[in-house]
């Protein structure tokens, strides 16, 4: 099974007319002011924006929730390799 590779940010800018570099800059500035957040890539910020229909405030809430959950539930995000995890492989094959 192949690893999913994210689309480069420049490609996302070409594909998504609603994606604005100014929105990415604003999100980057906001993230930099949040000491508890890691520094997501431009591609990750674009994915967060896209998943919230390019609305800034819902995107910020999604980023906060995502990283909070990753911090408090690390076991949920760990060991996600379908090939090496028997339970995941079985669930994947069932679905």
- Range 7-21 average pLDDT: 94
Q: Is residue 4 part of a domain?
A: no
pTM, full prediction: 0.78
Domain that holds residue 21: 9-94
Q: What's the pLDDT tens digit per position in 45-77?
A: 999 999 999 999 999 999 999 999 999 988 877
Of 25, 71, 65, 69, nearest to 45 by C-alpha is 25
% of the chain at pLDDT higher than 90: 68
Q: Is residue 3 part of a domain?
A: no
The pLDDT value recorded for residue 95 is: 62
For the chain, the domain total comes to 1
Check pLDDT > 60 for residue 1.
no
- Range 6-18 average pLDDT: 92
Which run of H or of E encompasses 44?
Answer: helix 42-51
C-alpha distance across the termini of the chain, in Å: 16
Q: Is residue 40 part of a domain?
A: yes
The Cα 83–Cα 78 span in angstroms is 14
Q: Is residue 1 part of a domain?
A: no
- Share the mean pLDDT of the chain: 89
């Amino acid at each position: 099974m192949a690893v999913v590779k994210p689309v480069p940010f420049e490609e996302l800018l070409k594909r998504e007319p609603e994606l604005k570099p100014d929105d990415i800059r604003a999100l980057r500035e906001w993230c930099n002011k949040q000491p508890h957040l890691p520094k997501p890539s431009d591609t990750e910020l674009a994915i967060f924006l896209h998943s919230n229909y390019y609305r800034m405030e819902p995107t910020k809430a999604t980023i906060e929730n995502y990283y909070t959950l990753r911090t408090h539930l690390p076991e949920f995000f760990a060991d996600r390799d379908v090939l090496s995890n028997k339970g995941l492989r079985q669930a994947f094959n069932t679905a």
